[in-house]
Amino acid sequence: MQNSSSQNLQINKNESIHPVIAKILQNRNIEDLKDFFSWDLKTLPDLGNLIDLEKAGNRIVQAIENNEKIGVYGDYDVDGATSCALLAHFFKMLEIKIELFQPSRFVEGYGIHPSSIDHALEKNVNLLISVDCGISNLETAEYTHDKDIDLIITDHHKDGKEYIPKAFAVVNPNRRDEDQTDLKSLAGVGVAFCLALKVKLLLEKKNRTIPSLYPLLQFVAIGTICDLAFLNPANMKLVRHGLKQLPKTQYPGLRLFLNNDDIKKDFIESEKCSFHIGPHLNSRGRLEHPEFAVNLLIEDNPYQCHTYFNEIVYSNTQRKQIQKTVYSQAFEQAKKNWTEPTPKINIVYAPDWHEGVIGIVASKLVETFKIPAIVFTDASDEGIIKASARTAGELDLYKMLDQCKDLFLKFGGHKAAAGLSMKKENLNALKEKANTLLASIPEILRTKQNHFDLELSIEDLDLNLAQALKTMEPFGQGNSYPIFRIKDSFISEYKILKNEHVKWTFQARSKTGRYTKSINGISFFYLNKWNALSPEELIKKQKEQQLIIDAKLNINHFNGKRYLQLMVEGLQTNFDSLIS
């Protein structure tokens, strides 16, 4: 096969690039195909050269040599949980017991606080390492100055305060004076891995034998994918090696997320993390204290893991029910505001919405209305509201909201997502200012655009292509799963599942009247979509108009068998707006 440069390129043990894959990457302007497909960890940028990393590593080595007590403090989301688990397993390799701390979303809230330092001191911790948080906590860093404790901050969020926290060390690829641009896309768990690697190298210089850190890449993979970290070549390599290890994972907690088909694979797909592992781990911190999620990831006893896992499954079920209610109300509120001129951002609020699900609801509003969303609910302090915000399109949400920070009490995040709190009385001012700021940005950059990668015939869709798509893994932010446009088929039948999903059978249009190829597809939550044509309307229209399908092609594994299926992203007929 030939790539876009008409040069023969072999990948992954002499496997040639499928011509459809080569065309997709050409359309995405991926020029260095060798690096895109590379698994070579030796070509990673220097993971040990971040500012303060050497200082942090030496302080940890000193603590180890002096038998000081070490603590790790992590955020309550998947990135924080996997970061905690990664360092817990690393110190376990060194036969060192550490203290683990996580805040409650509803008590301490996001970040590391002076009370967190007090709690660590109560546990006799001399060295506290934050993971996936801390860059905004100036007060906490200064609170440690006259305490018998050193604070090492590791984070990846935007460095947006007046100055860098005055902690013992601050390791963050996004700190304002950091020039390691190839590492700016690391998730919090990626930064934690850099720290572990630095400590390993420093200890080996002292002639200590340290086990390989390779198994820890499983946590890097899960945290990176679920935190929507941008998949640049460095993250792609780290995640690939983590996903490769998951089918045979030695961690009993992770094994519980895998079914019989998963453990037979050579590689776990990134969507297994996005839509299964991640939501389960996140659910605990969304509803109550997140400790069971971390406990599941660090526990060695399989029987105890089952207890933690069952609690997490129950939490995820509860989360879905709460989320469904909150989204329904937020959707109705947003729909009511959808008048001329149409809003450039959905900003919705209700006092009793569950704080733990407003981030997911904001994401779902973006999917529905194609514009950024901010979802507010009441905070614990009277007159204060807090929110989760999600971007749409190419909009740098953090940069936009940073221009509104005079309205906020707290604010933090990154390009795609942010969290904030403010006085309720500022809500209307925020709506006005946000709409004004967005008006100066071209619509194409601040809205979620319907797109497809390549137009194919239904005859082009086969197991060979579906299997070839896996060579592009991992998929996520910056490397989305390819979407194909199909124009030569029609809906031959459909079936409604659970009163909200639609299973389709698409069949190629035949000019001869003879049997033609068919393929099944599914549209999740189709019947609840905003402005969606009903299946009956689509079938009626397709008699006179061309049906256009935008869909992902994948393989459904069931009972040891493989089935080709389309994950339908959008359906339209000519002269109609896209339904997605």
- Give the Cα-Cα-Cα angle 118, 122, 124 (nearest 5 degrees): 115
Residues 442 and 458 in one domain: no
pLDDT digits (tens, 9 = 90+) for 235-291: 999 999 999 999 999 999 999 999 998 999 999 999 999 999 999 999 988 988 889
Mean pLDDT of 382-394: 95
Residues 70 and 28 in one domain: no
- Confidence band (pLDDT; 50, 70, 90) for 15? low
376 assigned to some structural domain: yes
60 assigned to some structural domain: yes
What is the CA 55 to chain-centroid distance, rounded? 30
Cα separation, 83 vs 81, whole angstroms:
5
Q: Which of 446, 467, 499 finishes a domain?
A: 446
pLDDT computed for residue 347 by the predictor? 97
**SS3 of 192-247:** HHHHHHHHHHHHHHCCCCCCCCHHHHHHHHHHHHHCCCCCCHHHHHHHHHHHHHHH
Positive or negative, the Cα torsion across 516, 517, 520, 523?
A: negative
Strands 501-508 and 489-497: antiparallel
266 assigned to some structural domain: yes
> Which residues have C-beta within 8 Å of that of residue 514, sequence separation ≥ 6?
none
Check whether 208 has a pLDDT greater than 80.
yes
User: Which percentage of the chain shows pLDDT scores above 90?
Assistant: 83
Residues 422 and 506 in one domain: no
For residue 434, give both structure tokens: 């946000």
Of the listed ranges 96-110, 123-137, 374-388, the one predicted with least confidence: 96-110
> Which residues have C-beta within 8 Å of that of residue 259, sequence separation ≥ 6?
none
Q: Which of 384, 416, 446 finishes a domain?
A: 446
Residues 76 and 155 in one domain: yes
- Confidence band (pLDDT; 50, 70, 90) for 79? very high
Of the listed ranges 42-56, 408-422, 452-466, the one predicted with least confidence: 408-422
328 assigned to some structural domain: no
> Which residues have C-beta within 8 Å of that of residue 301, sequence separation ≥ 6?
252
For residue 579, give both structure tokens: 């339904």
pLDDT computed for residue 413 by the predictor? 82
48 assigned to some structural domain: no
- Confidence band (pLDDT; 50, 70, 90) for 370? very high
- Please, how many CA atoms are within 13 Å of residue 394, restricted to the half-sphere of its CB? 5
User: Before 351, cis peptide (omega within 30)?
Assistant: no
Contact 177, 47 (CB under 8 A): no
564 assigned to some structural domain: yes
pLDDT computed for residue 150 by the predictor? 98
- Confidence band (pLDDT; 50, 70, 90) for 484? very high
42 assigned to some structural domain: no
Contact 147, 125 (CB under 8 A): no
Average pLDDT, the chain: 92
pLDDT digits (tens, 9 = 90+) for 539-557: 999 988 999 999 999 998 7
Domain that holds residue 460: 454-573
Check whether 512 has a pLDDT greater than 80.
no
Check whether 83 has a pLDDT greater than 70.
yes
Q: 508 φ, ψ to 5°?
A: -65, 140
For residue 526, give both structure tokens: 């189709």
Check whether 30 has a pLDDT greater than 60.
yes
pLDDT digits (tens, 9 = 90+) for 88-103: 999 999 999 999 999 8
Q: 31 φ, ψ to 5°?
A: -90, -40
Cα separation, 515 vs 372, whole angstroms:
45
pLDDT computed for residue 211 by the predictor? 97
- Highest average pLDDT, of 188-197, 284-293, 533-542, comes from 188-197
User: Radius of gyration of the chain from Cα atoms?
Assistant: 25
331 assigned to some structural domain: no
Residues 352 and 429 in one domain: yes
Q: How many domains does the chain have?
A: 4
CATH number at residue 379: 3.10.310.30
Mean pLDDT of 159-186: 95
Is 372 strand, coil or helix?
coil
Cα separation, 230 vs 224, whole angstroms:
8
Is 259 strand, coil or helix?
coil
Residues 400 and 301 in one domain: no
Mean pLDDT of 464-481: 95
Residues 369 and 462 in one domain: no
Cα separation, 156 vs 136, whole angstroms:
11
Check whether 10 has a pLDDT greater than 70.
no
pLDDT digits (tens, 9 = 90+) for 518-531: 999 999 999 988 88
Residues 441 and 459 in one domain: no
Nearest Cα neighbor of 577 from 449, 445, 444, 441 is 449
pLDDT computed for residue 575 by the predictor? 52
Cα separation, 421 vs 433, whole angstroms:
16
Task: Based on DSSP, count helices (H) and strands (E) in the chain, helices before strands.
Answer: 20, 19
Mean pLDDT of 171-177: 97
Residues 476 and 545 in one domain: yes
Q: Which of 446, 472, 498 finishes a domain?
A: 446
Check whether 2 has a pLDDT greater than 80.
no
CATH number at residue 266: 3.90.1640.30
Residues 98 and 122 in one domain: yes
> Which residues have C-beta within 8 Å of that of residue 48, sequence separation ≥ 6?
54, 194, 197, 198, 201
Cα separation, 356 vs 284, whole angstroms:
9
Check whether 390 has a pLDDT greater than 50.
yes
Check whether 114 has a pLDDT greater than 60.
yes
Check whether 4 has a pLDDT greater than 50.
no
Residue in the block written with tokens 């050409």: 26
Burial of 200 (0-12, 13-18, 19+ CB in 10 A): buried
Cut 0.85: pTM above it = yes
Of the listed ranges 160-169, 263-272, 494-503, 506-515, the one predicted with least confidence: 506-515
Residues 128 and 240 in one domain: yes
Strands 408-413 and 417-423: antiparallel
Check whether 6 has a pLDDT greater than 80.
no
Residues 345 and 388 in one domain: yes
Nearest Cα neighbor of 222 from 285, 284, 277 is 277
Mean pLDDT of 309-323: 96
Across 373-488, where does the E strand assignment appear? 373-378, 384-390, 408-413, 417-423, 454-456, 484-486
